[in-house]
Structure 1
Amino acid sequence: MPITLAKGGNLSLSKQDPNLTRAVLGLGWDVRSTDGQDFDLDASAFLLTSSGKVRSDADFIFYNQMKSVDGSVEHTGDNRTGAGEGDDEQIKIDLSKVPADVQTVSFTVTIHDAEARRQSFGQVRNAFIRLVNEQTQNEIVRFDLGEDFSTETAVIFAEVYRNAGEWKFRAVGQGFAGGLGALARNYGISI
C-alpha cells in the first residue's frame, strides 16, 4: 500500500524501497466540464543542481525533448486530452544514472496554450502524482494535489532529490502563473 503525502510532506525512497533504481512518475488529472474545449496538460521534468537551476537547456525534459542526454530521465509521450483512467502522462527516472551534480529532479505540469484558451488549474480536478517502482510495479508514494488553485497555469507537483546519501520524494504542490515559459525561466532555461 502506498504512502499518501500531504502538500510539503516528504518520504525517504531509499528507506521505503531500498532496491529502487528505476521509477515511473505517473501524473493524472481530470478536467471540469467547461465550454467543451479540450485541455492539454503537459508533464515536464527539470534536472536541477544544488542552486535550483538546470545545467543547460538539455536538462529540461518535455514533449519536444523526451529524454535526458545521460538517459536518466525519459518522458513517455504527450496525452493531449487527459481522457481515461489512471496515469495521463508518465516520466521515467533511473536513479542510478542521474548525474552526481544533479541534486533534484522537479516534476511539473502546465496547461498548453492556457492563456489563449482561458484555462487554469482552477478547472482541473483529481490531479495526482505517484511514484512506482518500474521493476516491481509497486506504487511507493502518492500525492493528491487538491484544488487549491484558481488562476495558475503551471504547477510544480513534486521533486525527487538527494539528501544525506539517499533519495527522497517531496510533495510540492506550488502553483505558478505564466505557464511553461515562466516555469522554465524560473529553473534557468532560456526561452
Structure 2
Amino acid sequence: MAISLEKGGRINLEKEAPGLTNLHVGLGWDTRVTDGTDFDLDASLLMVNAEGKALNEKSFIFYNNRRSDCGSIEHMGDNLTGAGEGDDEVIKISLPTIPASCERIVVAVTIHEAESRSQNFGQVENAFIRILNADTQEEVVRYDLSEDYSTQTSLIFAELYIKDGQWRFAAKGDGFAGGLAKLLETYGLA
C-alpha cells in the first residue's frame, strides 16, 4: 500500500520499496476554474548538484528535451489539456544510472503561457505526484497538493534526493510566480 504524504513529508524510497531501481513518476491535475482556454501544465525535472545548481542544460528534462544526456531520465510526452483520468504526464527514472554528481532531482510543474492566459495554480485542483515501481507498477508514495496557490504559476511538487547513499522522496509543494523562466533561473539556467 502506498504511503500518502503531506507537504514537508519525507520517506526513504529504498526502505519502503527494497530493490526499487526504476521509477514511474506520475503527475496529474484537473482544472477547477476556466474561461474556456485549456490549461497546459508541463512537468519537468532538473538534476541538481551539491551547490543547488543544474548539472548542465541537458539535465533539464521537459517536453522539448525528453531524455537526459546520461539516459537516466525520460519524459514520456506532453499532455496539452490535462484531460482524462490518472497520470497526465509521466517521467521515467533509472536510479542506478543517475550521475554521481547529481544529489537532487527536482520535480516541477509550470503553467504554459500562464501570464498571457491569466492562469495560476489556484485554478487547478486534484494535483498530485506519485512514484510507482516501474517494474511492478506498485505505487510507493503519493503526495496530493491541497494548498491554494492562487498567485503561483510554477510549483516544485517534490524532490528526490540522496542521503547516506539511499534515495529519498520529499513532498515539497513550493510555489512561486514567474513561470518556467524563474524556475530555471533559480537553478542556474538561463
- TM-score category (smaller protein): over 0.9
Q: C-alpha offsets along residues 3-29 of structure 1, whole Å, 9 cap, x if unaligned?
A: 000000000001011110000100000
Deviation at 1:58, TM superposition (A): 1.0
TM-score, normalised with respect to structure 2: 0.99
What residue in structure 1 maps to residue 65 of structure 2?
65
Structure 1 stretches of 4+ with a deviation exceeding 4 A read none
Deviations 1:143-163 (A, max 9, x none): 001132111000000011100
Distance 2:141 2:33 in 1: 29
Distance 2:158 2:165 in 1: 19
SS of residue paired to 2:36: coil
Distance in 1 between the 2:91 and 2:181 partners?
Answer: 20
CA contact (8 A) 2:114 2:120 kept: yes
Matching residue's letter, 1:128:
F
CA separation in 1, counterparts of 2:55 and 2:22? 22
> How far 1:54 moved relative to its partner?
0.7
* Contact 1:125/1:147 (8 A) holds in 2: no
Equivalenced residue count is 190
Task: Give, in whole Å, the separation in 2 of the partners of 1:34 and 1:58.
Answer: 34
Structure 1: distance between partners of 2:188 and 2:125: 29
- Determine the structure 2 residue equivalent to 1:132: 132
Is 1:119 the counterpart of 2:119? The answer is: yes
**Alignment map for 1:89-168 (pairs within 5 Å):** 89-168=89-168
Q: Residue 157 of structure 1 aligns to which amino acid in structure 2?
A: F
Three-state SS of the structure 2 residue aligned to 1:185 is helix
Identity %: 56
Unaligned runs of 5+ in 1: none
Match of 1:174 in 2: 174
Counterpart CA distance in 1 for 2:167 and 2:139 is 16
The residue aligned with 2:26 is 26
Letter in 2 for 1:126: N
- In 2, Cα distance between equivalents of 1:89 and 1:44: 9
Whole-angstrom distance in 2 between the partners of 1:148 and 1:117:
19
CA contact (8 A) 2:29 2:125 kept: yes
Alignment partners' CA distance in 2, 1:34 and 1:45 = 27
TM-score normalised by structure 1 residue count: 0.98
* Gaps in structure 2 of 5+ consecutive residues: none
Per-residue deviation at 1:135?
Answer: 0.2
Aligned residue type for 2:188: G
Superposed CA RMSD: 0.7
CA offsets 1:56-114 (integer angstroms, 9 cap, x no match)? 11110001100000011110000000000000001111000000010000100000000
How far apart, in 2, do the equivalents of 1:39 and 1:147 lie? Answer: 19
Contact 2:47-2:60 within 8 A present in 1 as well? yes
Structure 1 match to 2:189: 189
Supply the distance in 1 between the matched residues of 2:81 and 2:147 (Cα, whole angstroms).
19
SS in 2 for 1:66: coil
3-state SS, counterpart of residue 80 of structure 2: coil
